[in-house]
Amino acid sequence: MNMIPTPGVLEFTMKSLAGDSVDLNRYLGKAVLIVNVASECGYTPQYEGLQNLHNRYAAEGLAILGFPSNDFGRQEPGSAGEIQEFCERNYGVRFDMFSKVVVSGRNKVPLYELLTSYRNAPGEVEWNFEKFLIGRDGEILNRFRSAVEPESLEMVSALEAALASK
């Protein structure tokens, strides 16, 4: 399938959960899964599946980027430190986590403005744990709504295809 490259998906600088500036271009050449996360959501147990994907595929070039958001039901009320501690204690999260951001509505961060406006993944983020799969070349390949489990056949097949393309 011939797709037009997504301009700028990895051309943003975001703050890590620790407060450091992270140039997302550092992930170019990797398959990237961008996920808006929350600690008090019915989908919060997906952290476990995301970490399992990280454990299984990081060495092959998968990068998972978690972006906490308090946009839906105020289910991410914690501070950066509280979010970090929660993720490590409950799910052993070792994939890259970023500072809390707005992912929906008119005040969403530019990264999510771009993600939700591209033709392969149009429309507002509807809830926590929506996932955007970015190819090694920076193209948006797929979008998975909240109910799609990280370790589902649908998700794993898409990840493995993204990782296979060099």
Catalytic residue among 14, 22, 33, 41: 41
CA distance 69 to 120: 22
Look at residues 5, 133, 148 and name the one whose alpha carbon lies nearest to residue 57: 133
Question: CB of 114 within 8 A of CB of 9?
Answer: yes
Give yes or no: 87 in active site. no
Cα 114 to chain centroid, rounded: 14
Look at residues 45, 136, 146, 55 and name the one whose alpha carbon lies nearest to residue 90: 45
CA distance 44 to 81: 17
| Helix, strand, coil share of the chain (percent; to 5) | 30, 20, 50
Question: CB of 114 within 8 A of CB of 103?
Answer: no
Active site positions, annotated: 41
